[in-house]
Chains A and B, each alone.
Chain A
Amino acid sequence: RKEVEQDPGPFNVPEGATVAFNCTYSNSASQSFFWYRQDCRKEPKLLMSVYSSGNEDGRFTAQLNRASQYISLLIRDSKLSDSATYLCVVNRGSSNTGKLIFGQGTTLQVKP
C-alpha cells in the first residue's frame, strides 16, 4: 500500500460544478497535510494547508479525518482555470522530520 494514495482521475466536470477529491495516508503519526496544485509539469504551488478543524479559502475547502486517515479537497463553482493536477502532501512522522510524501496527484479537467 502506498503511503499516500490519490485517485489519479481524470475528473472531467462542467464549469460551475462542485468536485471533491480524497487522499488517504497510511502513517497515523503524520502531523502536517497540504494540497498543492501543479499545472502541466510546471512547479507545484501551495494551494492550502489542511488543519484539524478544516479550513476554507474562497471556493476551496479542505478537511482532515484523522480517524479514517484521509484528507479531502472540495472545489465549488469550478472554473476553467481550476484545471490542473492536485497533489496531496503529507509529512512522515512528526512535524520536524522534514520528509514529505506526495501523492501521485488527481487531474481535474473543467470543461465549458
Chain B
Amino acid sequence: EAQVTQNPRYLITVTGKKLTVTCSQNMNHEYMSWYRQDPGLGLRQIYYSMNVEVTDKGDVPEGYKVSRKEKRNFPLILESPSPNQTSLYFCASSPSPRLAGNNEQFFGPGTRLTVL
C-alpha cells in the first residue's frame, strides 16, 4: 500500500531531551516536507527536501534539523526540545518538486508531540 508513515504517533517528552521523529514513504517520491500545525496558525512548513541530500528551510526551521540521506526517509530531529515545540507534526511527500498541477502532496498520519 502506497503510504507515508511517521513514528512515533504520540510522544510526551521533557525539555532538552533529544528526539527524532521518523518519516518514510514507499512511493519513490522526490519531494518531502515537514509541517507543524498549531491552533489558529494552520500548517507551517519547517523544512523540505527536493531530493536526496537537498534540504531547505521552510518558514519555521528554528530548533529543528532534518536529513535526507536516502530517498524514502526524511527524519525530523529536535536536538533540545522546548515546550513551544509542542505541536501536531505532519510529514508529506510528493512525486516531484514541481508543486503544480496535479502534483499532490501525500501526508503521513501525524505525530502529536508534547514537550513538558
The size class of the interface chain B forms with chain A is: 20 to 34
Task: Report chain A residues within 8 Å CB of B42.
Answer: 87, 102-105
Task: Report chain B residues within 8 Å CB of A49.
Answer: 100-102
- Contact flag A96-B45 (CB < 8 Å), given A43-B110, A46-B104, A46-B105: no
Task: Report chain B residues within 8 Å CB of A101.
Answer: 45, 59
Task: Report chain B residues within 8 Å CB of A24.
Answer: none
Q: Does A26 contact B (CB under 8 A)?
A: no
Task: Report chain A residues within 8 Å CB of B108.
Answer: 43
Q: How far is the CA of A98 from the CA of B42 in the complex (A)?
A: 18
Q: Does B41 contact A (CB under 8 A)?
A: yes
Chain A binding surface, main DSSP class: loop
Residue in A44, A87, A101 whose Cβ sees the most chain B Cβ within 10 Å: A44
Contact assessment for B102 and A98 in the assembled complex, using a CB-CB cutoff below 8 Å: no
Task: Report chain B residues within 8 Å CB of A41.
Answer: 37, 88, 110
User: B90, B97, B98: which contacts A44 (Cβ < 8 A)?
Assistant: B90
Q: Does A42 contact B (CB under 8 A)?
A: yes
Task: Report chain B residues within 8 Å CB of A98.
Answer: 31, 33, 48, 50, 56, 97, 99
Specify the chain B residue showing the minimal Cβ separation from A98: B48
CB distance from B53 to the nearest CB of A (A): 15
Q: Which residues of B contact A (CB under 8 A)?
A: 31, 33, 35, 37, 40-45, 48, 50, 56, 58-59, 88, 90, 97-102, 104-105, 107-110
Beyond contacts A43-B90, A96-B98, A104-B41: 8 other A-B pairs, Cβ-Cβ < 8 A, are: A32-B100, A44-B43, A46-B105, A96-B99, A98-B48, A98-B97, A102-B42, A105-B42
